[in-house]
Structure 1
């Protein structure tokens, strides 16, 4: 096949597959990997038929460029709806189902309102709940349509109408950011962005029409849709899908999926590899064959070499190759993929911890181990001072700036955010800190999450990983942040780069450090008290800072995004509002920073 960027559009590529390889399997949805009959398959011909049916319904009612909100559970119906939007030159807006919890519903409502969606597509099983949510959120004028029901045109009624179809410049979708450090923003992605980024993934990972991708990452997350599903579909391969909930309930089902369905490429955030090590037993490992899993991409959050080493060791007996684990870097603004380092053992550089606190990347015999995410071959990369915009030079840590053909140019209906992020000259401010060392990209953390304590800069991931490594009583994840030393006079929503998120170059003394972490089971109060004190000593010994508070939480107590990213800003807000409901809170260097029970009355303005 011709290089993807030479194709007219993503829709044209899908239609060509339906013409040339109609019987090839495009998508497999696995409802239950333990059952022989637990999978449903669609060929390229079937996907094309469903996409034409949905595209015809949309084109009969809405002009090209209409925003279409896609609210589906994981499955084949959302794949058809997404392809139908591409065919009809509509703008697909993938989002999670509203869910039961307030913060989940608020996120979807914010997406619907920002996108100004004219129609919501869903499936029959979710239709009633989606319609009720739309009414409750003031979206009653937005039409809700179940695409798996009756009343839509037959696929034969959809034919090109003679008008020009979508091309590289046509907006294909709005990919909303995860909202880890703020409200989600709609990244405007065009057909050209999709084609260029998949071509970059093809070259980096050696993908072809014979490759099978797949896993549990949600379809509304950029890694799930644009890094897992779309490469398979545009390259003429096969993607295998499973529910995210099935993985979270039984992590071994992800690895069983890879084994059973011969998956070549599967990705997940760092926490998923950690969860597999913690919750997959020896008997389950013995039943796996992972020798055909060639690329286990680890991305979406900072990669921890200890997790990668533990995963490689744990599953070597199942045939996992030591060069399969692939640290990767990407983001929605770059469509998804920026860089990766496939088919080699991870490249690790240990850097001086004190130097890193001063934003210097200084290799050292001891310190903090950082993993390379490879070389961004499709991008120009600058490491810049986030305050001046000047390149920092060799050995410096700064904000990662990117420029390349699959980089977006704007956020939807958000001119201020677009102006801040998308710079003249085509560069993007990623908001990530990192360094280039011997041609390799190292990501050190998020600019908005860097902590300033006593005039020093700390990365929360380093603190979280150190206490988890030292204290086996901890489980799941933690969140580290700072609060004002008074504990009472904070702006409830500080701007990135100030307060708890002060960035490089900040001259302020910073705030008081707070460590929160989930624990195993329900330890007795005395055990919790001792653990909190021990964690405080660990942080003091490793980083020279004594925490003002250590909060020990139940499993699930740390707030995360739909893709598993830790929401440290939200955890900070909950802490200041006295809304974390910890099993135990240990007071440290600054007791005034620890709120009393219930919301702080001073913060109810």
Structure 2
């Protein structure tokens, strides 16, 4: 950990590792955890050589500080190209391979425009798709370079660039769950400090292996798994995200087969494992060496952590291994984690929580279970009234403000958004805080996150959290199991306030009474939350917009509803209350 912090920059950190342990595995990309032939491996010496080769290629082609787009299917090729960018003094811009959906391509277009992309690095597998995309969007395929082409670049001609800890290493574009994606400028020093914080929080020893399925273009996959695994010298083991979605048990087989001690994923991944993995698929798996099964990136559910621990206790998973963490790209991903003990669960009074008060109650009392995300590591934290800037008293919920070495300098080419998010000043004059946009508090030394400011539903003076409504509907209506929803508000027709709209996916089976289900869901919302759902739409699987990490894009769903672009299997709308959305009810499909 100290060696990583002492390095002048990430290039020095990797080259030091390569010199000390050249033949050690730095990265493994696994196609099938049960098939050794599917594994692609890079040693530290091999990664350094590839980074030097690609670095020399980019240095001859690009100017220092130029942004390089990195759409890759292969994690090993991505890692070599990512470090190749750093070895050239360029800025890496990790993105997914251009998708088939319009909103995915629109997001990529926004990134290309904002970053001023002139060069695209990709792998052999993705080249045809990336070339076609570049021809369509950029007007030419010339900027696209296949990083694995051995005729390009010479490792022996590489020279170290003029960089330091403050040099921008990558632009990590935000997921866009509440707004247009913005490029977070993450420096070498940001990464070095954050990775060291991660290791310290979980007391990870030098033998720990990191791994999982999170995409390498996502902040959790890149800065939470791949880079810590490589730069701490313990190796990273990654698999395809698509393979996990199709066969969730492959994640557990990866943990078992490669003796992974630290893996992380969003809440939905743990739910998917509980709902879809069979006993036959866990035969022969031993999870006793999985020390940290970390849940983060979206609201962490106490019931999900408990269900996952209970479901896989029979194959050795330790109860205290299932933990929670909190982070965001603007703070170089990691902020807090529960460390080597089980995430604490505190039940709080729901009515008081609506008034921004964190008031614990007994386990049998009415309320909401919240999961502690550990102590904040290496950063100053303030819980602040987002309107007045007043630091809130213990027991009060407010916006989480952060300050410290892991916090980035701002958004690329976006001074307005940078000023709004990165220049927070409290009412008593403390300055230089990152305003996270997340609501929460600290209780018994643990950070508790309650929701996001932009997504809080304000209905008749009450503050409700959309994820609570969505979760309660799935809990009470088995037809929704394994699907996702999005709750949001829209203006009332008479302009007097906001109306609640609930959209939810369903895998409708023959004989499912969608009319009765819609009626029951509206009754659940009324009974459990005391509000009226002015519209409720049942949608086909895949329609609810999500980010690459599984976060629900409620703002995007609100826009689709307002524009009348949703085509439900069935819908109920109070047309006297609403002035938006389709006018006629859709019947069952």
- Indicate the TM-score class for this superposition, using the shorter chain for normalisation: over 0.9
2: distance between equivalents of 1:127 and 1:399?
A: 43
Check if 1:566 corresponds to 2:552.
Answer: yes
Aligned to 1:515: 502
Aligned to 2:535: 549
2: distance between equivalents of 1:467 and 1:510?
A: 24
Once the two structures are superposed, residues 296-320 of structure 1 have per-residue CA deviations (whole angstroms, 9 ceiling, x without a partner) of: 1100011010111111111111111
Alignment of 1:187-202 (within 5 A): 187-202=184-199
Check if 1:131 corresponds to 2:131.
Answer: yes
Aligned to 2:67: 67
Aligned to 2:80: 80
Check if 1:20 corresponds to 2:20.
Answer: yes
Aligned to 1:434: 440
Aligned to 1:548, the other structure's residue is in SS state strand
Aligned to 1:149: 149
Cα offset for 1:576? 2.0
Aligned to 2:256: 259
2: distance between equivalents of 1:43 and 1:417?
A: 40
Once the two structures are superposed, residues 270-299 of structure 1 have per-residue CA deviations (whole angstroms, 9 ceiling, x without a partner) of: 011011111111211333211111101100
Aligned to 2:126, the other structure's residue is in SS state helix
- Checking the alignment, whether the CA contact within 8 Å between 1:549 and 1:593 is kept in structure 2 is no
1: distance between equivalents of 2:190 and 2:578?
A: 50
Check if 1:464 corresponds to 2:461.
Answer: no
- Checking the alignment, whether the CA contact within 8 Å between 2:358 and 2:397 is kept in structure 1 is yes
Cα offset for 1:523? 4.7
Once the two structures are superposed, residues 129-187 of structure 1 have per-residue CA deviations (whole angstroms, 9 ceiling, x without a partner) of: 22221232235387211111242133222244xxx642111111111111000001001
Cα offset for 1:555? 1.9
Task: Give the alignment's Cα RMSD to 1 decimal.
Answer: 1.9
Once the two structures are superposed, residues 435-483 of structure 1 have per-residue CA deviations (whole angstroms, 9 ceiling, x without a partner) of: 1112211100010000011221100011111111111111221111111
Aligned to 1:411, the other structure's residue is in SS state coil
Cα offset for 1:594? 6.4
Alignment of 1:38-57 (within 5 A): 38-57=38-57
1: distance between equivalents of 2:493 and 2:303?
A: 36
Aligned to 1:241, the other structure's residue is in SS state strand
Aligned to 1:583: 569
Of residues 287, 292, 302, the one that matches 1:290 is: 287
2: distance between equivalents of 1:128 and 1:291?
A: 42
Cα offset for 1:124? 2.3
Once the two structures are superposed, residues 98-157 of structure 1 have per-residue CA deviations (whole angstroms, 9 ceiling, x without a partner) of: 111111111111111111122111112322322221232235387211111242133222
2: distance between equivalents of 1:11 and 1:260?
A: 31
Cα offset for 1:583? 1.4
Check if 1:483 corresponds to 2:490.
Answer: yes
2: distance between equivalents of 1:535 and 1:2?
A: 54
Aligned to 2:108: 108
Check if 1:324 corresponds to 2:321.
Answer: yes
Check if 1:336 corresponds to 2:333.
Answer: yes
Of residues 263, 268, 272, the one that matches 1:275 is: 272
Q: Larger deviation: 399-408 or 542-551? A: 542-551
1: distance between equivalents of 2:171 and 2:56?
A: 21
Q: For structure 2, which runs of at least 5 residues remain unmatched after alignment?
A: 426-430
2: distance between equivalents of 1:541 and 1:561?
A: 31
Cα offset for 1:598? 8.9
- Checking the alignment, whether the CA contact within 8 Å between 1:177 and 1:186 is kept in structure 2 is yes
Aligned to 2:413: 413
1: distance between equivalents of 2:451 and 2:458?
A: 14
Distance 1:139 1:194, change over 3 A: farther
Aligned to 1:240, the other structure's residue is in SS state strand
2: distance between equivalents of 1:521 and 1:44?
A: 50
Aligned to 1:300: 297
Cα offset for 1:269? 0.4
2: distance between equivalents of 1:589 and 1:306?
A: 36
User: TM-score, structure 2 length as denominator?
Assistant: 0.94
Aligned to 1:179, the other structure's residue is in SS state coil
1: distance between equivalents of 2:41 and 2:375?
A: 36
- Checking the alignment, whether the CA contact within 8 Å between 2:72 and 2:78 is kept in structure 1 is yes
Check if 1:225 corresponds to 2:222.
Answer: yes
Once the two structures are superposed, residues 404-453 of structure 1 have per-residue CA deviations (whole angstroms, 9 ceiling, x without a partner) of: 11101210000000010011522000000111112211100010000011
Once the two structures are superposed, residues 13-52 of structure 1 have per-residue CA deviations (whole angstroms, 9 ceiling, x without a partner) of: 1011111100100000111223232212111011111111
Aligned to 1:473, the other structure's residue is in SS state helix
Aligned to 1:125, the other structure's residue is in SS state coil
- Checking the alignment, whether the CA contact within 8 Å between 1:550 and 1:588 is kept in structure 2 is no
- Checking the alignment, whether the CA contact within 8 Å between 2:214 and 2:549 is kept in structure 1 is yes
Aligned to 1:452: 458
Aligned to 1:337, the other structure's residue is in SS state coil
Cα offset for 1:589? 9.2
- Checking the alignment, whether the CA contact within 8 Å between 1:285 and 1:317 is kept in structure 2 is no
Cα offset for 1:390? 1.1
Distance 1:159 1:146, change over 3 A: same
The count of aligned residue pairs is: 575
